[in-house]
Every structure is written in C-alpha cells, then in structure tokens.
Amino acid sequence: MPETMIALLTDFGCDDPWVGSVKSALLSIDPALRTVDITHSVPPHDVFAGAFTLFRAYRDFPPWSIYLCVVDPGVGGARRPIIVVAADRYFIGPDNGLFSFIYQHTEVDRVVAITADHYFRRPVSDTFHARDVFAPVAAWMAKGIESSKFGDPVEDYVKIPIPVDKVVGDTLIKGEVCALDRFGNLITNIRVETLAGFAEQSGKKRFKVLLAGQELPLVSGGYIQDRPLFALVNSSGLVEIAASSRSASEALGITSRGREVGVMAV
C-alpha cells in the first residue's frame, strides 16, 4: 500500500482527552503515521450528522486514505466493529449506519466484521473502542495488513435511512436539507451529478431552488451575490442555500435538517 493518511471523524469534541488518546494509540503503533482531523464536532451520538459530514469530506482525501470514524452511542453493546472497503479507500468504525452515505453513493467492494482481537490494544475498555479497537486496526492497516486479516466479510451491515436526491418526472429534482454549517448555510443532498443529468435531460441551463415557500436562483460564483438569498453548488458538489455575509438559516427560519428542497428548470 502507498503511504497512507488516516482521516479522523468523531463526536468527541476538544474539551476532553479522547482525541489525544486515539492519536496516541495510532502513533504508538507507527510514529510516522500521518493523521488529519476531518472534525471532532459532530453533535454527540448523531449518527446521521456524522454520516453526512463524512460524505461531504471523504473525496478531499487522496487514494488509499483510511477514515477512522467514531460516532458510537452503542459502544460496549452488540454492534460490530467493521471495515468498509470501497475501491482504494477504507472506512473503519462501528456498524451502526455511520457509513450509510458511503454505501449509497460509492462502489463498496466488501464490508469486514472485525474479529481478530490480537490486533487490539490491551486491555480493551468497554467504553473506548475508538482507542482500543478502531485506532489499532487503522494503524495496522496503514502498515500494510490486508483487510481480510481482520475478519470475515458480512452482508447484513447496518444502514440508516438517508434521503436520496432524485428526478421526479421531467421538471423537478427533490432533495432535503441535511446540514446547517456554522455560517448558517443550508446544505442539501442534491448532488452536482444529479443536477448535470437533469440539465441534459431538460435541455435547460438555468434553475431555481424551491425552499420554505421561496424561489431562489441557482447561481455560479461564490458567496458575494447581488441578491439576499441564493443557491449554489458548493465545494462538496452539493446544492447549498446561502446569503451574502449572513445566515440563510436565520433568514428562512430553518434551524434543523429535514426540510424538503426542490430544483426546477427556469
């Protein structure tokens, strides 16, 4: 395997020692490992938010990256630790639906249930599998251990319900607000690939976004626009609703995910 980067995503925050302990477990196996923090600010126990955040970020990392992802309200329970092998990327974490967007939108080669406990840190805490199970497995994978050495493939891995963007008839894409970022931008699950297919199908080049009873233009360029509210395709390749130098969330009165979004040709 080429030199590998380990990308970390958790709901641990930065006030407690948990992130440092996980990194220490990684580096104790290989001090030369490269680690990058995607985020440690996933809302506590919010598996959907973790799954969507991972989906937004994973393509920014190079091939052969290992994604160590822990949003794990069932730690110590019956849920399995798993490795998801998707082409030239590897995802390690709890089998609780955290990788549901990956399952939906990437080509998954196999999912391995981790059972080879001789790779684990000892003793294994009932409350800290990120340090004692997931981090050691990620580090040993980065050193070249094949995923098949950690356990056997499974087919009954957990998927949580996630919204899928889709073209409805000849005139509409339906999607959903899936996240609000710290600037108040509303990030949807409508992908640029779906938008491009819709443009080809309709023969149109201009579109509007329907949200909360308003019609917003889908614009090109950045966040400085000569209109109060607008939509654009963001750096993750997803349709986003924004406002110039202020919060679109406050302007529209939308404070949580789940609101339906439409895109229509003009």
**Domains of the chain in sequence order:** 5-153 (3.40.50.10790), 166-265 (2.40.30.90)
Sheet of strand 110-114: strand arrangement: 34-39, 5-10, 66-70, 89-94, 81-86, 110-114, 151-153
Torsion sign, CA atoms 6, 10, 14, 19: negative
Q: Looking at residue 202, what is its pLDDT?
A: 86
Structure tokens at 170: 């000849």
DSSP 8-class letter at 210: E
**Contact, 263 vs 173, CB < 8 A?**
yes
pLDDT tens digits, one per residue of 117-169: 999 999 999 999 999 999 999 999 999 999 999 999 999 999 999 999 999 98
Between CA 35 and CA 86 the distance in angstroms is 20
Average pLDDT over residues 191-204: 92
Under a CB-based contact definition with an 8 Å cutoff, are residues 209 and 231 in contact? yes
CA–CA dist 114, 136 (Å, integer) = 12
Q: Which residues contact 75 (CB under 8 A, 6 or more apart)?
A: 94, 126, 127, 128, 129
DSSP alpha helix (H) spans, the chain: 18-29, 47-57, 100-105, 129, 135-142, 192-202, 248-252
Mean pLDDT, the chain, integer: 96
The two tokens of residue 89 are 């990327």
Q: Which residue has the tokens 């493939």?
A: 153
The rounded Cα 136 to chain-centroid distance in angstroms is: 22
pTM recorded for the entire structure: 0.96
| pLDDT, mean of residues 230-254 | 96
What is the predicted pLDDT for the residue at 42? 98
Question: Distance between CA 264 and CA 237 in Å, rounded?
Answer: 18
